[in-house]
């Protein structure tokens, strides 16, 4: 059985998974060696999860960054689709970080849902915009999220919800399998291999995608602080990890194993083509217009 009985005693989210009896599937890996569930379609009953989390009083913060040209290109579609599919029925607070608060689209939110817009400076390099999210997120957890929400998910903005992304994804510490790597052998994982970087690692468990991570506010605070610290130490040493914040996230997750892993259904790239194990797509990569979006 893929759960921790001891989690019940500690009242961790893993106890929800334990009591709701996750099923396994023959065609995919549904459990890590440290006994964290890997969530795939068909393993869970969505109604039971929603009931359980309502009963427990779970409330979810979503952070998303739309800095510079990413705002016009993606934010409207992201927020509209998340109103349709993200944690429907639970209280949700959006934390939108942008350099242009006045341009944030006015979306009609369902009851129990609200939005806070937070102004950030626009970094010159896109790599810094991406990495500095770690600092902004840990700051807002401390000043706001910890007082209002039990859980937190952090998202890239260049994606669109297309199916249920619900309370089955909630956990104490949650990481996502990268769609392009989940079937590849480990030696092809693009971890940072520069011993001078804080993100350096030889081997790991999976290759996680930094477009989504989450957990309890406490765990996400620890994660974002550790990643930010690694990023700043690298800057002092004049190195940059291969895939920026994603490299630091992978390093953190090998040292602090996630309690729940999301299958690539939760962030699929349709350009990969048909895969029999992907039975639903819950969130899709939006087109990446790097040439126009990343020029300062
Ligand atoms: N981002 C942004 N403005 C920028 C660069 C990045 O708002 O100029 C944010 C945005 O939320 C984006 C995320 O940082 O989704 C990560 O960057 P990107 O999606 O380009 O990285 P990739 O998906 O290619 O790893
Ligand atoms: Mn992205």
Q: In this structure, what are the phi and psi dihedrals at residue 67, rounded to the nearest 5 degrees?
A: -110, 135
Q: Is 154 helix (H, G, I), strand (E, B) or coil?
A: strand
Task: For residues 233-250, give the mean pLDDT.
Answer: 98
Mean pLDDT confidence for 240-246: 98
Q: How far is the CA of 197 from the centre of ligand 1 (A)?
A: 22
Nearest ligand 1 atom to the CA of 133 is 14
The Å distance, Cα 12 to ligand 2 centre, comes to 30
Please report which ligand is nearest the Cα atom of 245.
1
- Ligand 1 centroid to residue 281 C-alpha, Å: 21
Q: What is the pLDDT of residue 18?
A: 87
β-bridge pairing 92-98 and 60-65:
parallel
Please report which confidence band the pLDDT of residue 64 belongs to, taking 50, 70 and 90 as the band edges. Answer: very high
Which of the two residues, 7 and 170, has the higher pLDDT score? 170
Q: Is 48 within the bounds of a domain?
A: no
Known active-site residue 246? yes
On average, the pLDDT of the chain sits at 96
- The verdict on the CB of residue 157 being under 6 Å from ligand 1 is yes
Query: Helical H runs in the chain?
Result: 5-10, 14-19, 46-56, 70, 76-85, 126-140, 146-148, 217-236, 245-255, 290-293
Question: What pLDDT does residue 1 have?
Answer: 54
The predicted model gives 2-13 an average pLDDT of 67
Residue 196 vs residues 131, 242, 247: alpha-carbon distances, Å? 18, 12, 13
- Return the pLDDT at 291: 86
pLDDT at position 15 is 86
Q: Check which CATH number belongs to the domain holding 109 and give it.
A: 3.90.550.10
HEC profile of 18-60? HHCCCCCCCCCCCECCCCCEEECCCCCCHHHHHHHHHHHCCCE
Does residue 35 lie in a domain region?
no
Burial class (CB in 10 A: 0-12, 13-18, 19+), 116: middle
Q: Is 1 within a domain?
A: no
CA distance 292 to 296: 9
Contact 55, 87 (CB under 8 A): no
Scanning the structure block, which residue is given the tokens 């998340």? Answer: 82
Is residue 281 within 8 Å of residue 268, measured between CB atoms? Answer: yes
Q: Which ligand number lies closest to the CA of residue 292?
A: 1
**pLDDT over 80 at 8, yes or no:** no
The answer to whether residue 39 is domain-embedded is no
**Over 90: is that where the pLDDT of 135 sits?**
yes
Q: Which atom in ligand 1 lies closest to the alpha carbon of residue 159?
A: 15
52 with 20: CB under 8 angstroms? yes
How many CB atoms within 10 Å of residue 274?
6
pLDDT band at 4 (very low <50, low <70, confident <90, very high): low
Whether 134 maps to a domain, the answer reads yes
Band (pLDDT 50/70/90 cuts) for residue 144 is very high
Position in ligand 1 atom list of the atom nearest CA 158: 15
Mean of pLDDT values over 55-60: 97
Number of independent structural domains in the chain = 1
What pLDDT band is residue 295 in, cutting at 50, 70 and 90? Answer: confident
Query: Residue 19 domain-assigned?
Result: no
Say if 138 falls within a structural domain: yes
Using a 6 Å cutoff on CB, does residue 175 contact ligand 1?
A: no
Domain that holds residue 70: 54-259+267-293
Domain assignment present for 230: yes
The string of pLDDT tens digits covering residues 212-233 is 999 999 999 999 999 999 999 9
Give tens-digit pLDDT for 258-279.
Answer: 999 999 999 999 999 999 999 9
Is the pLDDT at 282 greater than 90, yes or no?
yes
pLDDT band at 104 (very low <50, low <70, confident <90, very high): very high
ipTM above 0.95, yes or no: yes
CA of 291 from ligand 2 middle (Å) equals 14
Q: Which residue puts its alpha carbon closest to atom 12 of ligand 1? A: 156
Give the mean model confidence (pLDDT) for residues 181-209.
98
């Amino acid at each position: 059985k893929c759960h921790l009985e001891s989690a019940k005693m500690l009242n961790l989210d893993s106890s929800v998974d334990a009591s709701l009896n996750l099923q396994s599937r023959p065609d995919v890996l549904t459990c890590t060696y440290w006994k964290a569930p890997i969530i795939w379609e068909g393993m869970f009953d969505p109604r039971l999860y929603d009931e359980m989390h309502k009963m427990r009083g779970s409330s979810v913060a979503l952070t998303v960054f739309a800095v510079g040209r990413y705002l016009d290109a993606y934010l409207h579609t992201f927020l509209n689709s998340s109103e349709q599919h993200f944690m429907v029925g639970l209280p949700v607070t959006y934390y939108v970080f942008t350099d242009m608060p006045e341009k944030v689209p006015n979306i009609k939110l369902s009851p129990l849902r609200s939005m806070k817009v937070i102004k950030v400076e626009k970094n010159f390099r896109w790599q810094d915009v991406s990495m500095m999210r770690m600092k902004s997120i840990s700051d807002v957890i401390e000043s706001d999220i910890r007082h209002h929400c039990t859980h937190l998910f952090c998202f890239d903005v260049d994606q669109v919800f297309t199916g249920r992304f619900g309370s089955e994804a909630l956990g104490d510490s949650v990481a996502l399998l990268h769609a392009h790597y989940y079937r590849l052998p480990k030696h092809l994982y693009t971890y940072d291999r520069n011993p001078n970087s804080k993100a350096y690692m030889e081997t790991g468990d999976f290759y996680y995608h930094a477009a989504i991570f989450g957990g309890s506010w406490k765990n996400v605070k620890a994660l974002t602080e550790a990643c930010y610290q690694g990023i700043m130490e690298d800057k002092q040493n004049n190195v940059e990890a291969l895939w920026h914040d994603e490299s630091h996230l992978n390093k953190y997750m090998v040292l602090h194993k996630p309690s729940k892993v999301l299958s690539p259904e939760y962030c699929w790239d349709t350009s990969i083509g048909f895969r029999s194990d992907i039975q639903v797509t819950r969130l899709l990569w939006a087109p990446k217009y790097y040439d126009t979006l990343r020029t300062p």
